[in-house]
Amino acid sequence: MKTPIHSLRIVFALSTLACAVVLVLFVHGRAQWTPGFWLQLLATSLAISAAACFVAFRKGKMQVVDVPLAHFAGVFVRQLLVIYVVSAIALSAIGWFLIYLVTRTAPNSLALAILAGSWLSLWLAPGIASVTSWRKLQAVIKSDA
């Protein structure tokens, strides 16, 4: 069984949309949550996601053509796990540094940073894993040709 052509594009687009929503909520988090706010959140998030997808999908990038589903799943899951761990550690370290600068309490800031880094990585990792998986799959296809 072959992998659907646009599977990586769908995962990337959903990950980008989730990250855009988190970004917009972070920037406008203290705003009053009115229907207008939610419409603005939706429009801004969709615009950010569409721009990122336009750049990522140019010239036929991130299409999976004639790749067996088992091989695709192995590559993608491996990339997803590695990217999640790396991004969780990196985001936690950055968060801990920034939170510690404000609070000056190491245990509390470390706990909050690990929670935030682990949560944000859930949304960020699939998009990055899509890009790295596509590159790995392209390298294998080019070496086989």
**Cα–Cα dist 139/105, whole Å:** 47
Asked if 19 and 83 touch (Cβ cutoff 8 Å), the reply is no
* Predicted TM-score (pTM) of this structure: 0.88
In DSSP terms, which residues pair with 107 in a beta bridge? none
Predicted confidence (pLDDT) per residue in 58-101, tens digit: 998 999 888 899 999 999 999 999 999 999 999 999 999 998 89
Percent of the chain having pLDDT more than 90? 70
Q: How confident is the model at residue 14 (pLDDT cuts 50, 70, 90)?
A: very high
Q: How far is CA 140 from CA 45, 53, 59, 136, in A?
A: 34, 24, 19, 6
Q: How far is CA 101 from CA 29, 40, 97, 107, 124, in A?
A: 21, 32, 6, 13, 25
Helix (H/G/I), strand (E/B), else coil: 60 = helix
Return the domain boundaries, the chain: 7-144
* pLDDT, the chain, mean: 92
